[in-house]
Amino acid sequence: MRYEAVYDISVLLGVEDIDYPGTPPYSRELINSLKNGDTSNLSQLVMSTHSGTHLDSPSHFIPNGKNIDDYPATAFILPAQVTPIEDKELIQPSELEKLDTRAGDALLFKTENSISGHATSGEFRGSFVYLSPEAADLCVKRKLGLVGIDFNTIEPCSDDTFPVHKKLLDSGILILESINLKEVPPGRYTLFCLPLKMKGAEASPVRAILIR
């Protein structure tokens, strides 16, 4: 089967990933090595469920919310729209109101984070483009299936009440974080973002791609 375009929107673990403050950084260590005479190469991984490009499920913030393994695989294959965001500070409802979205769609925000290279810098900075609570309310109103942003978190860590996460996840909207949309033209796609099949996990790293 041929496609018009395929975009890998995942960040490269160990190079481009951004660690949220207080979470263990991604690392990979060879515990068996062909160079050392072992029969194979074998790596050990240390990482958070929120390392690199990852999905948040409701149980991340919502008591008794769904875990990653509570969803069928089809929940992670969605019609998606990539929309450019002009505001260099936050995503506001005014930039979303005229969008033609449908219930269940994934809405991916292409912000200055991607354009500037911040999304793949490997460095957590306090200043990045994020989703405002008012824009989150609009996403809930539109009954989206997923929202995605080109940074490690969808809202500032300075607000320890996490209103945006809670608004979205409490409404059953999955959150895809740490995507890179720098080379992706705005428009409609099919999003594939399948997580690891882990029992009881509130989040999971994914390999996210867009196809049209």
Catalytic: 60?
Answer: yes
Nearest to 28 by CA among 9, 44, 47, 39: 44
Helix extents (H) in 69-193: 112-115, 133-141, 163-170
- CB-neighbour burial class of residue 166 (10 A; exposed 0-12, middle 13-18, buried 19+): middle
CA atoms 33, 34, 39, 40: torsion sign: positive
| Cα-trace Rg, the chain | 17
Q: Which of the following is catalytic: 50, 54, 60, 165? A: 60
Rounded to the nearest angstrom, the gap between the alpha carbon of residue 93 and the centroid of all alpha carbons in its chain is 20
Q: Which residues are catalytic?
A: 60
